[in-house]
């Protein structure tokens, strides 16, 4: 039976990639954010996962509005990053785990989640930057990847309740996988931020705190809001908290210990957070 | 019924339908050759993607609020902004009537509203370090 070692959650804004590229991690502006990662790296070194199941959202690299899946599960042997158009370096490719992907897909559809399956799927900065932050000095990623993309672009978006249920179904499928893999679940994006409109620059530390305070022990609290209420509370890009909610769901119903938590305002236009949870 | 959020238009089906051509053009900017083609002949490139008169005018004027009103989605518009040398703080300033310096100052000022128990690095009992502590002042 596969072993879920815990969850790693972090903001993924493109500006982080710019800071890494420039070597700005210790600058006054960026240090409070990057200071959150030595404990993440130590925890990952101790937990020694060999597979990552990652909930993230695509920003217009792989998916466009011509065909926008609500939930898309990668089933590829390899995932590439590519030019996203705004100057980030192209990040390293990922090795997939197609057998585990298909196991998840079978289990999810059996549980009545009608997911889109992707045998070819480019992954964007929302997936690459959390890996760059977690494993900054490696030539190849130490984990194989199963990516799960959640639509946070085109309303109607899935509800927080549905995302938690998706995550729980993923977790149940992982626990039923007969392999002996050590699996880290990753949720990327957020926290509160809004890029567009007259409310651009909106952040909401009170809502972020609500999310951080309930993530470990009462994730269902995050499902009390509709997704439109989340957009109001967290900002229109703050709805990326859906990825965190799904990832928390995959950790299962057991209580989780907060290994570390870092919160800093702002990076770019975003209230940034990083969290590690492990089974209590 | 759709919630009304001040200063915010949720990117719903109506906006997506209105903005499809503009967003499709922006999506094409993942390709460096397409970015170069746009810069070589902006209006011609806009016409190739079938942008409306309003959308072409908004692009020509670098009018971000008009691009949003014409159905542009910020995830895709960001790729156009990159070509124009604008980052998300520049976009924020353009949309809120602030200078870029004022917009950045507004973002930093939000830190003042962060409770010390929330902000900074906290290590839990499950970490390989010691008990919960705060690193940053």
Are the beta carbons of A265 and B135 separated by less than 8 Å?
no
Domain B13-97's class?
Answer: mainly alpha
Q: How far is CA B12 from the centre of its chain?
A: 16
Secondary structure (H, E, C), chain A: CCEEEEEEEECCCHHHHHHHHHCCCCCCCCHHHHCCHHHHHHHHHHHCCCEEEEEECCCCCCCCCCCCCCEEEECCCEECCCCCCCCCCCCCCEEECHHHHHHHHHHHHHCCCCCEEECCCCCCHHHHHHHHHHCCCCCCCCCEEEEEEECCCCCCCCCHHHHHHHHHHHHHHHHCCCCCCEEEEEEECCCCCCCCCCCCCCCCHHHHHHHHHHHCCCHHHHHCCCHHHHHHHHCCCHHHHHHHHHHHHHCCCCCEEEEEEEEEEEECCEEEEEEEEEEC
DSSP summary character for residue B31: S
Question: Does residue A225 have an active-site annotation?
Answer: no
Chain A residues with CB under 8 Å of B8 CB are 194, 196-199, 231-232, 236
Report the mean per-residue pLDDT for chain A.
97
- Phi and psi of A275, rounded to 5°? -140, 145
A89: domain CATH number is 3.40.830.10
Domain residue spans in chain B? 13-97, 98-137
Res B137: pLDDT: 34
User: Could you list the residue range(s) of the whole structural domain that residue A109 is in?
Assistant: 3-279
**A208 vs B contacts (CB less than 8 Å):** 118
Q: How many angstroms away from the CA of A99 is the closest CA of chain B? A: 31
Minimal Cα distance from B125: which residue of A? A259
- A228 contacts in chain B (CB < 8 Å): 2-3, 5, 10
Alpha-carbon dihedral A175, A177, A183, A185, rounded to 10 degrees: -60
CA distance B112 to chain A (A): 9
Contact (CB<8Å) B78/A36: no
Q: Which of A103, A125, A225, A264 is catalytic?
A: A125
Inter-chain residue contact B111 with A65, CB threshold 8 Å: no
Q: Which residues of chain B make contact with A257, given a CB cutoff of 8 A?
A: 124-126
Mean of all residue pLDDT scores within chain B:
90
Res. A238: pLDDT tops 60 = yes
| Residue B109 distance to chain A (closest CA, Å) | 9
Q: What is the pLDDT averaged over residues B20-44?
A: 98
- What would the pLDDT profile of B69-111 be if each residue is shown by its tens digit? 999 999 999 999 999 999 999 999 999 999 999 999 999 999 9
ipTM of the complex: 0.95
Phi/psi for A209 (5° steps) reads -65, -40
Cβ pair B73, A177 in contact under 8 A: no
User: CB-based burial of residue A207 (10 Å sphere; 0-12 exposed, 13-18 middle, 19+ buried)?
Assistant: buried
For the stretch A83-136, pLDDT in tens is 999 889 999 999 999 999 999 999 999 999 999 999 999 999 999 999 999 999
> Is B92 in contact with A85 (Cβ distance < 8 A)?
no
Query: Is residue A193 annotated as a catalytic residue, yes or no?
Result: yes
Separation in Å, CA A263 to CA A9, A33, A207, B99, B121: 12, 7, 13, 27, 7
Question: Please, are residues B89 and A240 in contact by the beta-carbon 8 Å criterion?
Answer: no
Q: How many domains does chain A fold into?
A: 1
Q: Could you give the CA distance from residue A280 to residue A258 in angstroms, rounded to a whole number?
A: 9
DSSP label at residue B134: B
3 state DSSP class of B116: coil
Beta-carbon separation of B95 and A196 below 8 A? yes
Nearest residue in chain A measured CA to CA from B108 = A266
For residue B125, pLDDT over 80 is answered with no
Q: Which of A22, A28, A196 to mutate to test the interface with B (most CBs of B within 10 A)?
A: A196
């Amino acid at each position: 039976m596969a072993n879920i070692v815990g969850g790693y959650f972090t903001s993924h804004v493109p500006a982080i990639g710019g800071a890494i590229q420039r070597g700005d991690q210790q600058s006054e502006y960026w240090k409070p954010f990057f200071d959150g990662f030595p404990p993440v790296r130590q925890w990952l070194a101790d937990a020694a996962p060999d597979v990552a199941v990652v909930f993230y959202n695509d920003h217009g690299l792989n998916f466009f509005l011509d065909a926008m899946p609500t939930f898309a599960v990668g089933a590829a042997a390899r995932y590439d990053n590519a030019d996203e158009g705004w100057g980030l370096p192209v990040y390293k490719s990922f090795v997939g785990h197609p057998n585990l992907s298909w196991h998840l897909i079978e289990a999810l559809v059996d549980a009545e989640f009608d997911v889109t399956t992707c045998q070819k799927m480019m992954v964007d900065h929302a997936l690459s930057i959390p890996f760059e932050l977690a494993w900054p000095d490696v030539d190849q990623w130490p984990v194989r990847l199963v990516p799960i993309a959640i639509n946070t672009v085109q309303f109607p978006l899935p509800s927080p309740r549905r995302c938690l249920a998706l995550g729980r179904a993923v977790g149940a499928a992982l626990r039923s996988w007969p392999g002996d893999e050590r699996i880290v679940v990753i949720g990327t994006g957020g926290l509160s931020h809004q890029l567009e409109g007259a409310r651009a620059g909106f952040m909401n530390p009170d809502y972020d705190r609500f999310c951080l305070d309930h993530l470990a022990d009462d994730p269902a609290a995050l499902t009390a809001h509709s997704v439109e209420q989340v957009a109001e509370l967290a900002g229109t890009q703050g709805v990326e908290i859906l990825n965190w909610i799904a990832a928390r769901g995959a950790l299962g119903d057991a209580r989780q210990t907060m290994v570390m938590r870092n919160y800093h305002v702002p990076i770019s236009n975003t209230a940034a957070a990083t969290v590690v949870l492990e089974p209590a | 019924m759709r919630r009304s959020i001040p200063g915010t238009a949720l990117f719903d089906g109506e906006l997506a339908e209105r903005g499809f051509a503009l967003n499709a053009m922006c999506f094409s900017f993942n390709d460096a050759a397409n970015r170069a083609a746009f810069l070589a002949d902006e209006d011609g490139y806009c016409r190739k993607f079938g942008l409306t008169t309003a959308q072409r005018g908004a692009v020509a004027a670098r009018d971000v609020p008009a691009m949003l009103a014409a159905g542009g989605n910020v995830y895709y518009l960001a790729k156009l902004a990159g070509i124009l040398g604008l980052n998300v703080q520049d976009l924020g300033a353009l949309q809120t009537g602030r200078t870029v310096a004022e917009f950045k100052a507004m973002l930093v000022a939000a830190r003042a509203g962060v409770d010390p128990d929330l902000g900074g690095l906290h290590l839990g009992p499950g970490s390989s370090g010691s008990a919960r502590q705060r690193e940053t002042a």
